[in-house]
Structure 1
Amino acid sequence: MSHDPDALRELLGADAALCHRAITGEHGVSLPPFTDHHVHLHLIDESGLAAGGIAGVVDLGGDPVALARRGNHSIPRVAYAGAFLTAVGGYPLGRSWAPAEIAREIADASTHPGVAGGAGTAVDEQASFGASVIKAALNSAAGPVLDAQALAAIVEVARERGLPVVAHAEGDGMPQLALDAGVDGFAHTPFTEFVGRTFTAHAVAAGQVWISTLAIHRADAESAEYARVNLAGFAAAGGRVLYGTDLGNGEQPVGVNPEEVAALDRAGIRGAALISTLADPWPLADPPSGVCTFVPGPPPTGLDEVAEWLRGATVVPTEELIHDDH
């Protein structure tokens, strides 16, 4: 395969490398292992994730007991939030896809441990079951939402435990409520309003992460445009964008989602920046070990080819790959 390794790294990032598989002889490009930063494992068949290029996932709403019991010694590597923390009667309670085990109702803004219905108690429970992130639900379109005091208490206790907090912020004013409370990011790029430059600047300065989930709006042009513009502004201002699909929400491919990748590309997150959103190990410090994401065939030669090229991604053991560019 003839290709300039330096040009490839400029296009796809410093870790991109021409290589071939020792067993099959198949040539392609190795990339850091990809993570889908927003999935719901109880709603999907995870067995196809690795074949589709995804080596790690972040479950953002599931039964903490079941998640803790599964162990984490295989691919995909799983980090998780445990249950949604929500207001009494709030989202996602009552949804057909949301068994009672995946939500905790916050009735008290107390940060003290052991308070029934307390914010601190709920955070402590998720932490005790091995959560790496905490998920707060703020969906004013679907019922009551956590007030500022309860949300601030969640953030305070999570911070004491060394855990970031992400918010599902849906409805007028919900992104601002989350930002004011100090949440560390959004489980979905804000999609119910344009957040504007001031909001975006504050989010970037706060070090927030925004998980993309752009493709879930394919049937709602208004939400899709809100999300695209908001994410484009956040990325352009230096914000940390994470690839995520909300896998389990509607019909989606298990693996790298071409629609999500294309939507990120349309939002101006292209080439090496696009690979970065996929390869970021958040909320963990290190990527999944012993594997990489491999894309067989000729490498892309320009930015316009990268999104479609990623359709062929799969996960392979690192030891199986022999680099061709040394």
Structure 2
Amino acid sequence: MTLATARPTRRALTGVAGTALPAFVDHHVHLHLIDPERLAARGIAGVVDLGGDPVALARRTTGLPRVAYAGAFLTAPGGYPRGRGWAPDAIVRDVWDASLHPGVVGGARTAVDEQADAGASVIKIALHADAGPVVSDDVLAAVIVAAAERGLAVVAHAQGAGQVERAVEAGVSALAHTPFDARVSRRLVSRAVTAGQAWISTLDIHRGAEREHAVANLRAFAARGGRVLYGTDLGNGPLPVGLNRRELLAVHEAGVRGDALIAALADPWPATVPDEAVSTFVAGPAPTDPDDVPTWLSRGTVVPTEELPRAD
């Protein structure tokens, strides 16, 4: 097996031989629930925060990991994640009006503008029908329009009967979680792929039937050419801070393997995060057996690119 993006190297400072790869991103984290300072040592150079205080996130301008973010969840009044212990008021905004006029209380434009003005790279909307009310179709459409006018994509937490279908129909750019409630029809998977929708993996947060559904759905999506993004929902329970071997193995199980797995890790969505100043370093040569790749990748660490000259 040959990994097109892997190159042999020897770290300039330590002399350790290994492999250089693009910088890796966890595309679904919640920074207020973890210690982000540990991420770079465990192979994560960039993160996408998909639900946090936009003011606090806007203050993170230097250091590793590089951060792109959605700012607050947009949700219906009383909807998910309102009332959760891990979701303070600062990370939730209620939206009930489809108005595209700025400054309207509860309006789609107002909520989107607040996140965009705080530096958001994507807008997050909650479509969690199992946990309370969800926004109307008109509000969902207005959020997508308002985000597009600010040059931003929309990512949805879609859970509960009909919510994945709504997200695909409405033109949501990405799903924050691979669908896990049930198996998604081949027709809907094809429509999501054709629309260019991305799915963030987050397989390791599930067990039992939900995990089986998520792996099967991601396998079908990837097999049809869907854009898969590595993401863990870090902060959701006892997940390892850094590269998650279990997540990598699950994505591999779903058929996203070798260079495709590296592409899911290194994808710059939704913004160029991180930049090329840092790379992933894994000690030792790249494995020859494809089944060894997930575990090997999980040993990566973030290193300045200038420290990793070619060694071949």
TM over 0.5: yes
Judge which range, 284-293 or 177-186, deviates more: 284-293
Structure 1 distance, partners of 2:274, 2:80, is: 32
Question: Which residue in the other structure is 1:267 paired with?
Answer: 254
C-alpha contact (below 8 Å) 2:144/2:154 kept by paired residues: yes
Equivalence for 1:3: none
Once the two structures are TM-superposed, the CA of residue 298 in structure 1 deviates from its matched residue by 3.1
The CA deviation string for residues 11-54 of structure 1, in whole angstroms up to 9 with x for no partner, is 323x2100010111101100000000000000000111000000
Query: One-letter code of the match for 1:41?
Result: L
Read off the aligned partner of 2:284 and give its amino acid letter: G
1:237 paired residue number: 224
Match of 1:228 in 2: 215
Q: Give the match for residue 35 of structure 2.
A: 45
> Is 1:155 aligned with 2:153?
no
Question: What is the SS of the residue equivalent to 1:58?
Answer: strand
Q: Are residues 1:119 and 2:91 paired? A: no
User: Contact 1:158 / 1:164 at 8 angstroms: preserved in 2?
Assistant: yes
8 A Cα contact 2:25 2:273, kept in partner: no
2:54 maps to 64
1:189-200 equivalent positions in 2, closer than 5 A: 189-200=178-189
Paired position in structure 1 for 2:168:
179
Q: What residue number does 1:137 align with?
A: 126
1:118-170, Cα deviation, whole Å (9 max, x unpaired)? 01110011000000000000111110011111100000110111100010001
Q: Which runs of 5+ in 1 are unaligned?
A: 1-6
Q: Name the amino acid aligned to 1:98.
A: A
Counterpart of 1:167 in structure 2: which amino acid? A
Identity of aligned residues (%): 62
Cα deviation 1:178-227 (Å, max 9, x = unaligned) = 1111100100001112111110111111111100000000xx31110111
- Residue 258 (structure 1) aligned with residue 245 (structure 2): yes
The alignment status of 1:284 with 2:271, answered yes or no, reads yes
Question: Residue 18 of structure 2 aligns with which residue?
Answer: 28
SS in structure 2 of the partner of residue 97 of structure 1: coil
Q: Give the letter aligned to residue 88 of structure 1.
A: P
Normalising by structure 1, we get a TM-score of 0.94
- Give, in whole Å, the separation in 1 of the partners of 2:257 and 2:60: 35
CA contact (8 A) 1:62 1:82 kept: yes
Greater CA deviation, 194-203 or 236-245? 194-203
Matched to 1:114, the amino acid is G
Whether 1:12 aligns to 2:7 is: no
Q: List per-residue Cα deviations over 1:53-76 (Å, max 9, x = no partner).
A: 0000000000001111222x2211
Q: For residues 197 and 204 of structure 1, what CA distance do their matches in structure 2 show?
A: 11
Query: Is contact 2:203–2:247 with CA below 8 Å preserved after alignment?
Result: yes
TM-score, structure 2 length as denominator? Answer: 0.98
- The letter for the 1-side match of 2:52 is G
> AA paired with 2:108?
A
Distance 2:288 2:105 in 1: 58
**Contact in 1 for aligned 2:6/2:286 (Cα 8 Å):** no
| 1:51 match: secondary structure | helix
Q: CA RMSD in A?
A: 1.0
On the 8 A contact 2:68/2:273 being kept in 1, the answer is: no
Gaps of 5+ in 2: none
2:32 is aligned with 1:74: no
Contact 1:52 1:254 in 2 (8 A): yes
CA shift, 1:288, in A, is 2.2
Deviation at 1:322, TM superposition (A): 1.9
